[in-house]
Structure formats: structure tokens, C-alpha cells
A and B are shown apart, each in its own frame.
Chain A
């Protein structure tokens, strides 16, 4: 069964550093998403991406965040100048819009 692959599974970074979270969506999917889940809290939408541009974003997705599809297979989330409160599980998802969204297993980001 096709999977969404996320790397790394766990990332520890110093406060103020930049991190890049990587995702390989399902190959024939055209819509891509990033979500985050702070420990013990609900899943929060960050951004959706289609046709090489952001289609929707939440209030959380401010100038600190950016997304990119640098090649035909990868989809990345960059977080600049990380803060302690950015610590969370970050989930990538992809969709072909004819079925549901497939989520990756997540990257646990710890900012220290």
C-alpha cells in the first residue's frame, strides 16, 4: 500500500536554529499538506500546497514557516529561528482529492 514517508522521525534542535522537515508524498498525489500536533493537543492544520503554490494556510503558518517542492518527489517544511513552542509532531499528508488524505508517520521536533 502506498505510503507517505517522513524524515527524520525525530529531530532535536537548538532554539533559534532552522530546521527542514522532509516528506515524500504518494507519487500520483497532487495535493500536499503539513499539520502539527503538540503533545496532548489536537491536530492543527498548517498549510496546503497544490500546483507548486500554497493554496491554503492557517494563522499558525506565519513568516517563520515556508514550504517547498524542490523536485518531483519531495515536499519540505522549513521552520526558521525555532522556538520552544514549535516542539510538536509534524505530519505531512497527501491526497488525490478523490479519496482521503494519507498521513505520514510524523517527525517529532524537539526544540531545546
Chain B
């Protein structure tokens, strides 16, 4: 059973077209939910950690939110350099679960 599910698998946006990525999870005892950006052939780059429902964090054009069942990564007015795979990961007792990611392409 998948513990972390990300949607959509792929997303193409025009530059400036805002959207949201979803990460839903089914673990109990959540210790933290992480968002990462991964460029091809590179390690994940940390973006945010969220610990409790209702928490929000922002960084430049990105904003992450958390509920008891899911997290959203909102991208406002994206630029081509935001193109990457965005990974969600959940830290539960004795395990870390990664989603398969959302591949974002921002078209100039």
C-alpha cells in the first residue's frame, strides 16, 4: 500500500500560470512532511518541512500547506527555472516514505 501519493504525475504550465501540486499520505504518527526539488541526475534539494496540520511555509514563489491527510505545494507565477521534479516525503516512526514526484515543466 502506498503511503505517499503525489498528483499530478506531470504538469505543464505557461510562465506566470499559477498552480498547485498535491501530496496525500496515509501514515500514522506523522513526524514531518518534507518537500524537495530534484533536478535530473542530482540529489533532492530541500524546500520545506511541515510538522502539524494548519502549518504553512513560503519561499519565493512556493508555498507549502499541510492538513491531516495531505499537503499542497502552491507555485505562484512560475518561471522556466522552476522546472524540476517536486518530491514529497513523509517521516513516520521507523520509516521515511517518498512519493514518486510531480514533474513540472514551465514553458516560457
Chain A: residues with CB nearer than 8 A to chain B?
A: 4, 33, 35, 41-45, 48, 56-58, 91, 93, 99-106
CB-based contact A45/B44 at 8 Å:
no
Alpha-carbon separation in the docked complex, A56 to B94 (Å): 5
Contacts A43-B87, A43-B89, A100-B49 given; indicate if A91 touches B99 (C-beta within 8 A): no
Question: Given known contacts A56-B95, A58-B95, A101-B34, is B101 in contact with A42 (CB within 8 Å)?
Answer: yes
| 21 intermolecular pairs with C-beta atoms under 8 Å apart | A4-B43, A35-B98, A41-B100, A42-B98, A43-B44, A43-B98, A44-B98, A45-B98, A56-B94, A56-B96, A57-B94, A91-B43, A93-B43, A99-B46, A99-B49, A101-B46, A102-B46, A103-B44, A105-B42, A105-B43, A106-B41
Number of A-B contacts (CB under 8 A): 50
**A39 CA to B49 CA, complexed, in Å:** 26
Please determine whether B48 and A100 come into contact, CB atoms closer than 8 angstroms: yes
Enumerate chain B residues within 8 angstroms of A93, measured Cβ to Cβ: 43
Main secondary structure of the interface of A (DSSP, over half): strand
Within residues 5 to 40 of chain B, which ones have a CB less than 8 A from any CB in chain A? 34, 36
Given A4-B43, A105-B43, 5 further pairs, Cβ under 8 A: A35-B96, A42-B98, A42-B101, A56-B94, A93-B43
Interface size on B, residues (CB 8 A): 21
- Chain A nearest Cβ from B41, distance in angstroms: 8
CB distance from B28 to the nearest CB of A (A): 16
Least distance between A67 CB and chain B CB atoms (Å): 15
User: Once the chains bind, are B43 and A42 in contact (CB under 8 Å)?
Assistant: no
